[in-house]
Chains A and B, each alone.
Chain A
Amino acid sequence: MASIGQIVEQTPGRDALTRARQRAVLVPDCMVEAKRIANTVIAGWHGRRKRGIGENFWQFRPYADGESLSRIDWRRSARDDHTYVRDREWEAAHTIWLWADMSPSMMYKSTLAQASKESRALVLMLALAEILARSGERIGCPGVMDPISARNAAERLATALMHTPLSGGLPDTTMIRGASDIVLIGDFLDSADEVMARLSPLARRGLRGHVVEIADPAEEAFPYSGRTEFTDPETGEKLVAGRAETIREDYRRAYFARRENLGGSLRYLGWNFVSHRTDHLASEALVAVHMYLSGMPGRATHGGQL
């Protein structure tokens, strides 16, 4: 009997870029919803239609106790009995960090899937880069590319990836300062505690995160039966199941429990969690992340079912 799953080669960057472009066309521009005031923002080129740091007048509002007196607009306040504060429109570009896990466990594609997990992750990452670059956000990839703000950011990211292939494991993220967004794409198969141990320092530093879990349908459905020897592509560890079909229910329970656990922990941090299966269309995940990024989480449902 032929194997259900197989280990695949790494997807070439050019190929992934082409597919990412196709996906990105389907999705409208994404203007990242800025919830927080960042210290590291750089004045951008489009207004945010919100009050914040900027040049243009946005609104007058009544003075509230505790605010610095220097912010009172005395000219406006002199007109009536109230004291007013002048708000300005926030003009800023946001920095989005994109990162995809390229560890050996991602190089996996079962017969049930359309693409390998790695290929899907790469496509998602480049497509996001394309969409975000269209709306002028700054795109970066930790360890690979410093944040840039350019229309062709997706191409440049793909080029950078060709020169510096992503490896497994979260790279050094100490250069990420302040309240940026980070999109993490991977399979997150380690136990939820280990993943959280890696991610929570990021959250503590004020990063806003969006985690996209890529899963192969074979990993979810466990379509194995008979005497089967399972091999971990990362550690090479081997495990022999006498009759694989007998443990299917137990395995699925443990698998989904891990996902629930991880999703819950991330939401507790204030991060978003999207689950995606490689037998679905890449644009589904793209749309979900897009919604989160643009601050419309109400329309997204959790648990990977869009």
Chain B
Amino acid sequence: MNALPFAFANPAVLLALLSLPVIWWLLRLTPPRPQTEAFPPLKILASVLKREETPAQSPWWLTLLRMLLAAAVILALADPVVNQRTTTLATGPMVLLIDNSWASAADWQRRLDTAHALVDDAEAQDVPVSTVFTADRNHDATPANAATAREKLAAAGPQPLVPDRRRALQAIRESLGGTTPGTIAFISDGVKSDDTDTVLADLATLKPQDLRLIEGDSTKTIALTAAANGADQMTVSASRLAGTNAASYTLIAQDGQGRPIASGALAFAAGETAAAGTIAAPFEMRNDFARISIEGQASAGSVHLLDDGFKRRRVALLTGEAGDDFQPLLSPLYYINRALQPYADLIEPKVPDLAQSIPEILAGNPSVVIMADIGRLPAETYEPMQRWIANGGTLIRFAGPRLAAAPADDPLVPVILRQGERAFGGALSWAEPQPLADFPAFGPFAGMARPDGILVKRQVLAEPTPDLAERTWASLADGTPLVTVRNVNGGRIVLFHVSAEATWSDLPISGHFVEMLRRIVQLSRSGGASAETGAATTAEALPPFRLLTAEGVLSTETGDAKPLDPHRDLSKVASTFDNPPGLYGSEDGFTALNLLPAGTTLQRLDPATAGMAVTLDSLIGEEAWSAKPALFTLAFLLLVADSLIVLFMGGAFARRLRPAAGAAMILVSAFAAATLLPMSEARADDSKPGDDIIMERLNNTHLAYVITGEPDVDRMSELGLNGLTDYLTYRTTLEPSPPVGVDISKDELSLFPIIYWPISASAPMPSNSTISRIDAYMRAGGTVLFDTRDQFSALDTSGAPTANGERLQAILGNLDIPPLEPVPTDHVLTKSFYLLSNFPGRYSGSPLWIEARQDARNGSSAGTQSGDGVSPIMITGNDFAGAWAIDANGAAVLPTVPPDETQRDYAFRTGVNIMMYMLTGNYKADQVHIPALLERLGQ
């Protein structure tokens, strides 16, 4: 080993230390403090000043600081690694107990290295070594020399199993035969094998002189313990060993060929050792999942194998009566629906006609068809139904008045039924309503507790046959069958002798109903029609098909694995030597056995339970502590200190902070320290980009125009609205901010009282979503001023609409606009600021169309103004913007037609009136009534 307690990963970098004298010479130079002068025309000076500096000496301690900085960086690059290990062993035989379980697979090589190092130490001190692996089938703990131990180590490998430490300890105890061991080194995976695992205490009973517990990085020990197929996602439970920090992992779901087809997230909260991850995927895709693994984890525990039984079934529901939406609690399908919704995908026929709906749902390949109270099916549907059952379908029927009245020769009933039903209780009956008997030991309901409190008041009765008892899955207390079954080739017909709603019995409203249905559905084949094999209940013991290795890979190597008894609930079975985790069965159908039973939590092996002093150690090559980050941090701190010193010397803080220089220094250093600490919390900040623009537009009134995409039109709109803005500022109290061009497909429109929209036939037609934005804007109280700018081009003789007019029609065609009328003579627009009789722009003559007033629409007299709101739309052809447009010098850009400056002035007045109308709304309209109101008040 190295004489120093640390070694350099890149010792060559240390040669760079030779350059320190050169750096020292360079660092001695820093410019002197300049003469300070106030100088107002600094901007002019800045434009001519070139940077040049006169070097001078800097203080020695600053140089030293910088030298330290450079040295720290060089040392950090050389990457010193501190790695110490105790090498002395106690006298007496050494016991090497090694976990080769699933959790040791990830760092197996390092575990081997550690073991080898220990064997080397033992060889150096001439101590026999007893080597035991906990997950092996046979243990040979005889103390032997180092060479034998090395052979054992070379032969060992991680197993996809939970360690069986009790047997290993037994072997050690036997081989020692009372000899006190010197050192016991336990290279552990850190996981308690079960709740009663007392391995450390047992080791302590051997009275070793030195008990060492050597553990790897336990943060990587994660196991998937269960997976549940939910309604719209798959939920995966996971457990981990060390739960201090929050951690998140990616779950990968792979199909039978090993291709990843979906992924999900698994996140452990800080301090939590259990977590549930979800994989959201469509139902069809989830049925293709064959295994779920954690990305980046290679151990048998981080893989969860799925089999057919896991897939969600497709269940079709049929009922004889039309659904009554108003009384759902009386509908038989309601209870079935509620019971099966979490476990299966339910399909219901689209048409009530059974002759159509049965072929339709059979085409959907359901696993299960549930018929609630259907007496007779249409004749032509029996044949496909029977074929489907023979191909492996499961038909579940519920009794009911219709079935009770049906003839007895129905082939789709498991037993021969007596016609009519049997009623318990009631005025004319001696019999009491019957509870359920215990479930028989066979059948899917085996193991369920006997339901209490379920009373059956009415049922259909089966004709007794010799095999009736073995075809009965559940019966009443008096022995009459409640659930009967008949296997038909690959399929099965199940009959509940009660109805599916709560009138005949309490069963549908009990939790057992859910469980019973779930188990029956689980029994069914996952795919509707498949090969002819026997039902799962009659299957033989399953031979190993594919087994999981400790690294979490499926292999065809079955080794000495034994066939699996399929009658046990595999989710509660832990894997053993005989049945290691993997797939059992054949290619046609297999069952998955996972490493850990469902709901397992990984528990840490606590050294305190040993009852004696335990030396904790870590694996070789891992927790060698690298000084690199610390050195870099030091270098960074020095850099910060250096910067602060330079700033102080340059006088950056002198002016502002001299009175409180000390306090400022503390503040600055505190701030530096705060920035260096890891930022644990992030402040919520809900501001979005563009908020400042919205705030600005909210604070000021802006005129807005639609950016049509044609530069000349847009420029004219901008100049025009500029002109109107100037005019408004000059003439009225309204002082709008500069006009804004809006992209109606993206920008927030609700900030503008009015949007000027010059229609151009050559501009791109706005999309439907854009039109709907405009519609929403108009609904929310905004106004759009459409300007077709074609008053004179419209003067051709034909009277046909112009291109711009057609475009306007196309736009308005998608808008929900009110009826329009030209501005009436007494409309508030004619007097909101100036008194106007017409509304000219560059052209005059085109009427200004606005929303027709309510009273005018109703045909009443036009004497009073409605004064209610503002017209959401205005249409003109007079080219307002053209008249308003002024250039930077205040001169008009375009001449009016005819060239008459009075008309331009009237155009501006029109703009003022429109803006006043926009912003004051019915206030101006109400002003009209003031004389009348005053007159009334006077009375």
Contacts and interface: CB of A to CB of B under 8 A. Distances in A.
Interface string A222-253: 00101111111111010111110001001101
A174 B34 CA distance: 46
Interface in B21-56: 31-32, 34-54
B902 interface: no
Nearest to B31: A227
Given A227-B32, A227-B34, A251-B45, A234 B40 contact: yes
A228 B37 contact: yes
B55 to A, nearest CB: 10
Contacts of A7: 38
B746 to A, nearest CB: 31
Interface string B586-617: 00000000000000000000000000000000
B49 A190 contact: no
A5 B49 CA distance: 19
B48 A229 contact: no
A226 B255 CA distance: 79
Contact of A247 (B31, B48, B729): B48
Contact of A242 (B52, B729, B890): B52
B889 interface: yes
Most buried by A among B37, B49, B889: B37
Most buried by A among B36, B44, B47, B53: B44
A189 B44 contact: yes
Most buried by A among B31, B39, B47, B53: B39
Most buried by A among B41, B50, B52: B41
Given A4-B37, A242-B53, A250-B48, 17 more contacts: A3-B35, A5-B39, A189-B40, A189-B44, A190-B43, A204-B889, A219-B39, A219-B40, A229-B35, A231-B36, A231-B38, A239-B49, A242-B54, A247-B48, A251-B45, A254-B44, A255-B44
Nearest to B42: A232
Contacts of B52: 241-243
A241 B34 CA distance: 8
Nearest to B655: A236
Interface in A2-38: 3-7
30 contacts: A3-B38, A5-B39, A7-B38, A174-B729, A189-B41, A189-B44, A190-B43, A227-B34, A227-B54, A229-B34, A229-B35, A229-B36, A230-B38, A230-B42, A230-B45, A231-B36, A231-B37, A231-B42, A232-B39, A232-B40, A232-B42, A233-B38, A233-B40, A235-B42, A241-B52, A242-B51, A243-B52, A247-B50, A253-B48, A255-B44
Interface string A248-292: 001101110010000000000000000000000000000000000
Interface string A89-123: 00000000000000001101000000000000000
Contacts of A204: 889-890
A5 B37 contact: yes
A243 B659 CA distance: 32
A258 B34 CA distance: 28
Given A204-B889, A242-B54, A251 B48 contact: yes
B42 A237 contact: yes
A146 B443 CA distance: 105
Most buried by B among A3, A106, A239: A239
Interface in A146-202: 174, 187, 189-191
A1 interface: yes
B782 to A, nearest CB: 30
A173 to B, nearest CB: 13
Interface of A: 1, 3-7, 105-106, 108, 174, 187, 189-191, 204, 216, 219, 224, 226-235, 237, 239-243, 247, 250-251, 253-255, 258
A6 B37 CA distance: 8
A189 B43 CA distance: 8
B725 to A, nearest CB: 13
A189 B41 CA distance: 6
B38 A6 contact: yes
Contacts of B43: 189-191, 232
Interface string B473-498: 00000000000000000000000000
Contacts of B37: 3-5, 224, 228-231
Most buried by B among A227, A230, A254: A230
Contacts of B38: 3, 5-7, 108, 230-231, 233
Contacts of A226: 35
Contacts of B41: 105, 187, 189, 219, 255
A228 B35 contact: yes
Contact of B47 (A1, A232, A237, A254): A254
Contacts of B47: 254
A3 B36 contact: yes
B57 to A, nearest CB: 15
Return the 4 tightest CB-CB contacts between A and B, nearest first. Answer: A105-B40, A232-B42, A242-B52, A229-B34
Nearest to B51: A242
A279 to B, nearest CB: 16
